[in-house]
Amino acid sequence: MTSIKPKSAIIILVARTNIIYKTLSLFYKNWNNNFQYPIYIHTFGDLISSELKEKINKEIDSTIEFIEIFPKIPSHIAEKELYYNRTYHEYVKKAFSKKRIGFLHMCNFLANVSNYGGEGCISKKLEDFDNLMFFDDDIYYKKEIKFDLFESLNNYFLVTGFTSKIEKNKTNLACIENLWEFYKNYIISNNITPKDKQLANAVINDDENILHQLNFSAGCMEIYNMKVFKEDNWYKFINEVNKYGGFYKFRWNNNYLTNLFLRTFYVEPIKYLNLLEDQIIDTKFPGSEEFVYFNQKDYYSSKVYRLFVNLKNKLLNFYK
C-alpha cells in the first residue's frame, strides 16, 4: 500500500523587498527547482510593488502567492508596556526604537504558527498543510541542497537549519526578561513534568541558567510538523503566552517558546541540521540590513538606500 506524501508548503515573511528577488532565485536554484513546493509570501500590509510581484512570478515561479496581513498591537497590552519603552535595557535604548515594532509583530506571527487567519498571523489558506517551512527573507542559500528538507521531519516535530545558544550577555538578557518566570509558573500551575530531564531539574531547582545551557533552533529557518501545533497542549500554551504578552512586552523570540514547549511534552522532538556550519546557507544575504522598520514601503526599495547599504558593507569589509 502506497503512503500518501504529506502536504507541505513554504512561508516567507518579507520586509526586505530590495533583496527578495535574489534570495528567492538562489532558493530555487539550490533547492526548490528540484522539489517545487508552493510558496506563500506574507507581508505586513502592501509592501511589495506590483512590478516586483510580476517579475517574481514571471522569472522564478508563477505559483508563488503574495498575501497581505495587517498586524495590530493586542488590545490588552498598554502602550507603556511595549518593548521599545523598556529603555532601562541598554539594548533597547541604543537599538530598539518604536520604528522596530515590526520585529515584535514578526515574533507574534512566527510563534502563532497555527492561528490561521488570525490578526497578523499566517493566511487561512495554509490550514490544510501537514508541514510548513519558515525562513527569513535574508537567508542566503549558497550551495545546492540535494535532499528533501521536509523529509527530515520523519520522527521529529521541528527541523532547524542550525542551532544557537542564548549567551549570557546584556543584549540577550534584555530579550528573555521574565521568560523563565513565565515558563516555570506555567509548568507548576499546570502540574506538568517536562519530558526533557534538564528542564525538569531546572524547574525543581528554579534554575534560570538552563536558558543559557540549551541549544535552541535557529528561528530564521525552521520546518514544522503541524500536527503537534494543532493539539490542545500547544493551543493552551500559546494562548497563555499571548495573554501574557511576551512577544510585545519583552521581545521573546518565537523559537524560544516553540523549543521550550516541544521539550516539555516530547522526548527528542527537534532535529538539528548543520546547514550553517557546512556553509550551505548563511543568515545574511549580501546587501541585507540588520534592522527593518515597519511601514517603510519605499525605504528598502530605493536606489539611494541600496547604494548606502553597499557602501557601508564595503567600508566594513575594508576595515576588517
Rounded CA Rg of the chain:
20
As its CATH architecture, domain 8-318 has: Alpha-Beta Complex (3.90)
C-alpha closest to that of 270 among 157, 130, 166: 157
pLDDT of residue 63: 98
Q: What type of residue sits at position 272?
A: Y
Q: What are the backbone angles phi and psi of residue 140, rounded to the nearest 5°?
A: -105, 105
**pTM here?**
0.89
Query: What's the pLDDT score for residue 16?
Result: 92
pLDDT reported for residue 301: 44
**pLDDT computed for residue 299 by the predictor:** 46
Per the CB < 8 A criterion, the answer to whether 23 and 50 are in contact is no
Q: Note whether 245 and 190 are within 8 A (CB).
A: no
Low-confidence ranges of the chain (pLDDT < 50): 1-2, 297-306, 309, 319-320
Q: How many CB atoms lie within 10 A of CB 54?
A: 10
Helix, strand or coil, per DSSP, at residue 248 = helix
The amino acid at 69: I
Q: Are 135 and 22 in contact (CB under 8 A)?
A: no
Cβ–Cβ < 8 Å for 163, 218: yes
Q: How many CA atoms lie within 13 A of 33 on its CB side?
A: 12
The DSSP line for 145-163 is --S-GGGGGTT-SEEES-E
Domain ranges of the chain: 8-318
CA atoms within 13 A on the CB side of 150: 21
